[in-house]
Each structure stands twice: as C-alpha cells, then as structure tokens.
Amino acid sequence: MNLSPLCILSPEDIEAIHEATMDILASTGVRVQSARMLQLLAEKGLDVDTQTGIVRFPRGSIEDAIASTPRSFEVFGREGEPAFVLGDGTPRVAAGHNAIFWVDSETGETRPSTVRDVEQFAHLCELLPNIDMIGIPVMPQDVPVAGATLLYGVRACIQNSRKPIYYSTDRPEVNRAIIRMLERAFAGDLSRQVYGITQVSPTSPLWWEEGVLEQIIETVETGVPIAILPEPNAGVSAPFTLAGLLTVNNAECLSGIAMIQLLKPGAKALYANSWTTTDMRSGAALVGSCETTICRIAGAQLARFYKLPCHTTAPNSDNHAHDEQNAWEKTLSQFCSIAAGNDLIVNCGMFATGMTCSHEQLVMDDEISAMARRIVAGVRVNADTIAADLIKSVGPAGTGYITSDHTMRWLRSDEYLTPRLAVRGSRTLWESAGAKDTYQIARDEVARLLQQPTAPLDATRLDGVSRVVDEFVRKG
C-alpha cells in the first residue's frame, strides 16, 4: 500500500479558504494592468472597471473555469516520445530554475553562471533517473545581450537533453522566441502535444502586470500549458498568517486560471504556488522554512479540491552552503511535496533561496527525490512478499534466507532503494575510499556522469533553434 497523501487542512478548513477566496474575487477583485485583457474580459461579461483596472470575478466564472481546465495531460520528450502524464497521481520532479550564481565544481567558489554550466546541467539531467523535466537552472551571465540570457539557457537545455522543458519569463517577446525554439526542436506537433510548460506569476497582492497578461493572451493560442504561480510573501504582500497566505495565493491562482479559460476553454493550466515566508527579525524572504513546507501540503490539498493539476517548488533551502541545514530543509520540503501529491515539483539543483545552483546539488537532490519517492511507494503486500511458505520452510533459528530463490529474486527488484551517494558500511571501508563527505562523493559522481554520452540535438534542428536566438539578439 502506498503512503496516504499528507493532509494538513481539514475539509472545513478548505471550505473556509474557498469561500473567502470566492468573496475576495467577487467583491474586491484583482487589478489587471492590460487594456487588451480588460477588453477581452469585458467582452466575456465580467465586471471590469477600465479606470482602475479592477476586474471582479463572480463565483460562476471561477466555477466554470475550474470545470473546463483539464485535470491531466500527457507530456512528451524532445523526440516526440511520451514522457509522462501530468496529473495522473504520480508526482513528477523537475530541475531548475532561473537562478543567477553557480558553485564551481573545481574551485568550490560561487561565481556568475555561464552557458557551459547550463549545458552540463542539462547533460546531467538527461542521465539522472529522478529528474523528469528540466527547468532552466540559471540566467547565464556570459551572453552578448542581457535580454537574451534566458534564450541561451533554453537552447543549452534543448541541445543537451531529450527531457521536457519548463521555463518562465515575464517578457512576451522572450516567451514568443522560446515557443519558436520549442517548435524548431520538437519532433512532434507542439500545437497538440506538450513539450514545454511556461510559468507566469502575478504580483502580490492581487495584481496582474501587463507583460504577464500579454504573455497569457499569446500563449493560450499555442497549446503550451501555463502554470499560474503566485509568490505571495507572508507579512509583506499577504497576511502574516499561513491561512491568509494560502488565501491570497488561492485568489491569485484562480483568477489567472479563470482568465485562461475565458480566453480559451479547455486550455491546459496548472494550479501552482511558491510560498515565501518572512523572517521579521532580518527581513529575509524564506523558501526553505518549515512553514513554506506546511503550505506545500496545503496547496496540494486545495488543488485536489478543485481537481486541478498542481505545481510547487522544492527541494528548497535558504542556506548558502552545501551543509546540514541545506540537507534538512531540502529533504523535508521535497518529501512533503511528493507525499502531499503535488503533480510537478520544480527546483532540483538550487539552493540559497533559489539564487544559486550547482551540479553537485542537482545530484544530491536527485537522491533526495529517490528517497522521497521510495517512502511514498510504501509496502507491497501480497502472498509473494509476505512469503509465509518461506518463513515456515526456514523455521525457527533457520539460516536459509540469504540463499533462497526468493531473496535472489527480490534482491534485483525495486523493493530497496540503492543510493548513488549515501555512505554505507564500516568506517574502515569509508576511510579506505578516501573518507569523503557527501559533497565530495557528489562531485565525483558529477565528473563520472559528464563523461557519459547523452543524446544531443541533431544539427538541422539545432540550427533552427539557434536562428531564433540570433534573430532575437540582432533585434536587440
């Protein structure tokens, strides 16, 4: 039996947050900073104040939007092959995304990120079994035009891995270019099949800026799914209480999904969240706190209540080092995200409140994800696994287990997780192997994986992708 999904909200709690959200959207509304979107929403019959930009959503419009959003959809790899179904009850894990700095594997120093870092990151993602999708890990800093930095990151990921792509930008022109890149690289039909998912975020509290709205309008026509990911900050752009933080996130997320469905009923969208709490002593925004992890569980419950596919961010840590705090924050946030049933969990390879990446962190996060998935998979119980006949045949004080066919057969199954990095065995064995800590072992694993071949993009499609980047750079 699998582990039951983690729950932290009662049905009454969920209903209270839902009702408060419906009231906020109907009475207060959200600010929509786009004349084009205001006109489109007014044409759909919503209460639009063109002077203030406030749009109010009646309960029926939200309910209709929820009902018309697909509960699940298939995602494909670069070569047009099915990768997974998002929303089928199996949590999927993605690496990245959108940090700035990189920890150099050779020197251990934190420095500005490069395109080469992203290329190697994608190479590793292609080979790591618990990474299902690639978010662009950083905005590489060694590109000729600063405004094109994300395009270089996307190209590096497309070029070095067949896995699906996850990205985000608040600039419509960058979004258009990325979708053209995905079209040039994808061996399938991007208008019908999902190879990339884009993320857009409102500005808390309850404000949708023009660039994001233009991106929504354009993207719904392409077939690319949109993750609506609010990022409210407790005590700063949302109430300090967790219930208030959840309610602001819920209102912003549902308003975005409603706009998508009003523009194109049936368009693929995700209920997403990236909670931030605040250390009021220092003013630091936190993504690895235990309270953000509580919200990751609650967010998955709310998404299930609405029957919407959901996305959250994890494994997260606020520390700037690969240390014990990093490990406990990442393990708790990733386990709870998976155990709560979030459909897509994005952020492997990142730490330092999402500002820094490293190849070693990616490999360690792959292992954390494997452990979380194994725990959630639970205990397989049937006549073969109970093995009553074997127990009776070995009998009291028997010694036949280690040589039994049953042990040999299950030894080669997925009953036990075989870790890549964990130290197991005696101190003597550990010392003879160099007495390495986890970071050093991860560093060795990175070097080993980077020597293995992957599946680079063919020259014709790579040329098509590069032409999009070159054209963007020429236009400045």
* pLDDT score for 446: 98
Cβ atoms of 297 and 224 within 8 Å: the answer is: no
Q: What is the mean pLDDT of residues 169-173?
A: 93
Q: Is residue 411 part of a domain?
A: no
Cis peptide before 315 (omega within 30 of 0): yes
Q: CA-to-CA distance for 344 and 346, rounded, in angstroms?
A: 6
Counting Cα atoms < 13 Å in the Cβ hemisphere of 457 gives 29
Q: Is residue 421 part of a domain?
A: no
Instruction: Kindly tell me if the per-residue pLDDT of 1 is higher than 80.
Output: no
DSSP state of 164: -
Contacts of 343 (CB under 8 A, 6+ apart): 86, 87, 91, 92, 270, 303, 309, 310, 311
Counting Cα atoms < 13 Å in the Cβ hemisphere of 246 gives 26
Q: Give CA 214 to chain center in angstroms.
A: 23
- CATH code assigned at 332: 3.20.20.480
Q: Is residue 275 part of a domain?
A: yes
Q: Is residue 406 part of a domain?
A: no
Q: What is the mean pLDDT of residues 152-173?
A: 96
Model pLDDT for residues 385-442, shown as the tens digit of each residue: 999 999 999 999 999 999 999 999 999 899 999 999 999 999 999 999 999 999 999 9
* pLDDT score for 447: 97
Q: CA-to-CA distance for 296 and 372, rounded, in angstroms?
A: 15
Instruction: Kindly tell me if the per-residue pLDDT of 476 is higher than 80.
Output: no
Q: Is residue 396 part of a domain?
A: no
pLDDT level of residue 383 (50, 70, 90 thresholds)? very high
**In the 3-class helix/strand/coil scheme, how is 405-459 assigned residue by residue?**
HHHHHHHCCCCCCCCCCCCCCCHHHHHHCCCCCHHHHHHHHHHHHHCCCCCCCCH
Instruction: Kindly tell me if the per-residue pLDDT of 67 is higher than 80.
Output: yes
Instruction: Kindly tell me if the per-residue pLDDT of 463 is higher than 80.
Output: yes
Q: Is residue 359 part of a domain?
A: yes
Tokens for 342, please give them: 């979030």
Q: Closest Cα partner for 96 from 347, 367, 363, 313?
A: 347
Q: Is residue 394 part of a domain?
A: no
Model pLDDT for residues 253-304, shown as the tens digit of each residue: 999 999 999 999 999 999 999 888 989 999 899 999 999 999 999 999 999 9
Strand-pair partners of 125: none
* pLDDT score for 146: 87
Query: Rounded mean pLDDT of the chain?
Result: 96
* pLDDT score for 154: 98
Structural domains in the chain (count): 1
* pLDDT score for 97: 87
Domain with 157, as residue range(s), is 67-377
* pLDDT score for 275: 83
Q: CA-to-CA distance for 323 and 438, rounded, in angstroms?
A: 9
H/E element holding 208?
strand 207-208
For the entire predicted model, the pTM comes to: 0.96
Q: Is residue 29 part of a domain?
A: no
Regarding beta strands 92-95 and 133-135, do their DSSP bridges make them parallel or antiparallel, or are they unpaired?
parallel
Strand-pair partners of 313: 346
